[in-house]
Amino acid sequence: MVALKLAACGCGLALIYRNSREAAQSTAAAARAAGVAVSVIRADVSDEAQVRSAVEQTVRAMGRLDILLNLASGYERTPAPRAVDWSNAMDTNARSAFLFSAAAAPIMKSAGGGRIINFSDWLPVSGRPRYREYLPYYTSKAALKGLTESLALELAPEILVNAIAPGPIIAPPELSGEENAEVLRATPLARWGGAEEIAKAVMFLIETEFVTGECIRVDGGRHLF
């Protein structure tokens, strides 16, 4: 949804994937149908060399780099977290955003500016480790909030850096009716947001000229409970 919203606005896209090739190709086809240039690149987002290569390929294909969306995320339940669970969560959710931002920032600065948008989670942004057995995930998303704030300071004034912290956006397919009812009861707006709400938040952070270092919760007011 985010990629197609950008395509509808005329933005060329570089779609970077590791395992979800079919989804990337499907999104690319839809974006090309909207009339924009699209490049599909495979990379391990935790590998610095591959990240730098992906950014370089993007610039070669598109001629410029104005917006970076750090969407890579892993959400795993870890009842008894091991060192590997910690490393995987930190690499996927936090280190990847740092690597892409470090590679993209000099290019954006040389062109006069840009936007970096990270994706955290409503719980760590609210300072609430509400659910047990997600320790590496929660910590990595909290680190992403800190990274967003630090990068915003480091890269100002040319580059604005913000984050989106989603709440109940799309119901998981395995969610039971009782679990779904509980989510709705705990959400003041009493519904799931839908991917369109994330796309709207992305567009706001792209278009704003005076918001940086913010982590915007898109959670239907869930953090108020």
SS3 117: strand
Specify whether the backbone of 36 is left (phi greater than 0), alpha (psi in -120 to 50) or beta. beta
75 is a catalytic site residue: no
Which of 17, 134, 137, 138 is flagged as catalytic?
Answer: 137
Q: Which residues make beta-bridge pairs with 215?
A: 163
DSSP state of 149: H
Could you give the CA distance from residue 164 to residue 24 in angstroms, rounded to a whole number? Answer: 21
DSSP state of 224: G
Crossing angle, helix 48-62 and helix 96-110, to 10 degrees? 40
**Phi and psi dihedrals of 132, rounded to 5?**
-70, 160
Residues labelled as active-site residues: 137
